[in-house]
Amino acid sequence: MTTKITIDVTGMTCDGCERHVGEALASAGLEDLRVDWRRGVAVGVDAGTFDVAKAEAALEGSNYEIVSVSSADTPAPENGDDVDYDLLIIGSGSAAFAAAIKARDLGATVAIVEKGTIGGTCVNIGCVPSKALLAPADLYHRAGHSPFDGVETAAGNVDLAALVASKDELVAALRQGKYADLLDVYGIDLIEGTARFTGPATVEVDGRPITGRRYLIATGASTWVPPIDGLEDTPYLTSTTALELTELPGELIVVGANAIGLELGQLFAHLGSTVTWVEALDRIAPFEEPELSGIFKGHLEAEGATVLEGATAKRAGRDGDRVWLEVEHRGTTVRLEADRLLMATGRRANTAELGLEAAGVETDRRGHVVVDDTLATSNPSVWAAGDVATLPQFVYVAAASGNIAAENALRGAGRTLDLRTMPRVTFTTPSFASVGLTEAAAREQGRTVTTSILPLEAVPRALVNRDTTGAVKLVADAGTGELLGAHVLADGAGDVIQAAVVAMSYHATVDEIAAMFHPYLTMAEALKLAAQAFDKDVEKLSCCAA
């Protein structure tokens, strides 16, 4: 048993203060110290010799004062100090590598256990391969649909097999350079095999015991498909297998119209497939602002797609080389037929084989590991990070959570993951990007809010591009004017949203955003115009009017 000591210290004003306070506390018997002058906190481990009076004496005569001391006991591994690694990480994706690099920076010994392909979802079957195909699909579509008078463009043939081969080449290069090669760079051991907890602090990899002082679960998530009558006997695609197709389907049914379903469905639509979306909720892009969802639905239909909202898939089957799906839609049963069926209905955590019951690690009803804001689980020796945990499933959240989890596990640092300004992007054309609260979420929290909605027809960049599909919606506190949420549907929305992230990080008001310089004829100017729209009719302003 070890004891984590947390000490609140006043008087620290710089990095040098951290060093002086750390030396004083170390002389009083604390080990593995981390001092944060900004938070006024020092955290360390008492191996049995820490003396508060001695610490106070060491700081006497300085500007530093101990104002409170708290302690928490942490069980040591069952095999005591004789462990193989300081941190044993199960999984090898973004969360795992961020944690491993942080742990090595802290001087810890680290091993990663991986049963399959190194690199996790993002580089292998998620972000990288999907965007590597979305980019050429968008280019192909734009080539056949030029909005400019006097400029003729044409789209030729699509060689999907060549596109997929190019995508695979990029994935292999990034997997090697950003994951496999880093093992030697940082001195991280890779253990190949399937890990399973056999007790609260014991793990076996293919039956071989591997011990850690602390453990991190970072096994990610996999595609999940709901039970639909006949589906198990019907060939269907997932977000993984859809990226492996080498022949373009003439007709495609996509079940699910959240981020993954919209991205992949539009990918094939832009390459030439006729696409039908089936969404069980009352609108597509169900977690975006309803005004933006409505605009995007109209855009998809204008491109020739069929969109069924509030539609529940009931039965599936195949008829020769074709597949069919029966859908309950607005009180009637609709039979859809296509060459391919894509199930884009979400992802569930990879926890089934981990033996979490033996470890005493709590999961939610979907199998995700329950963590607090420090990434700690119900087992004091185990942390979790990334898509396997009860966190938003974004690669940058996975990396941040892995970094924080490693430091908390090894040093008891008490760092927390703050998701208030976490952005999200859906890489459709136009793309969605959001940060902060939607109007509905803000009102559910009891906030009194005011909003502005700016159509892209009011944005000079969109007019120049001859593409005004989209809008910007801002949500602000009605009393203070503080920006609570920003929501963009526009070409380049993912780049635009970062300005809103920075503004929200510093609790900026919409008046302050409106007063900032925004470069003319950029899509980022839409944020300024949307901020001005709270109290001005921007249609009646001159260009760049402040």
User: What residues are annotated to the active site?
Assistant: 12, 14, 17, 64, 122, 127, 543-544
Work out the angle between the directed axes of helices 259-271 and 290-302 (0-180°, nearest 10): 20
- Give the DSSP per-residue string, 70-93: EEEEEPPPTTTT--SEEEEEE--S
Tell me, what amino acid is at 139?
Answer: L
Segment (H or E) for 142: helix 127-143
CA distance 6 to 70: 5
CA distance 10 to 164: 58
Question: In the structure, how many helices (H) and strands (E) does the chain have?
Answer: 16, 26
Phi, psi of 307 (to 5 degrees): -125, 115
- Cβ-proximal residues to 316 (8 Å cutoff; 6+ apart), any chain: 228, 229, 230, 231, 234, 236, 323, 324, 325, 326, 341
Buried b (16+ CB within 10 A) or exposed e, 511-540: eebbeeebeeebbbbbbbbbbbbbeeebee
**Residue 521 region, left (φ>0) first, then alpha (ψ -120 to 50), else beta?**
left
- Cβ-proximal residues to 447 (8 Å cutoff; 6+ apart), any chain: 437, 477, 484
CA distance 453 to 488: 10
CA distance 66 to 64: 7
Peptide linkage before 235 cis (omega within 30 of 0): no
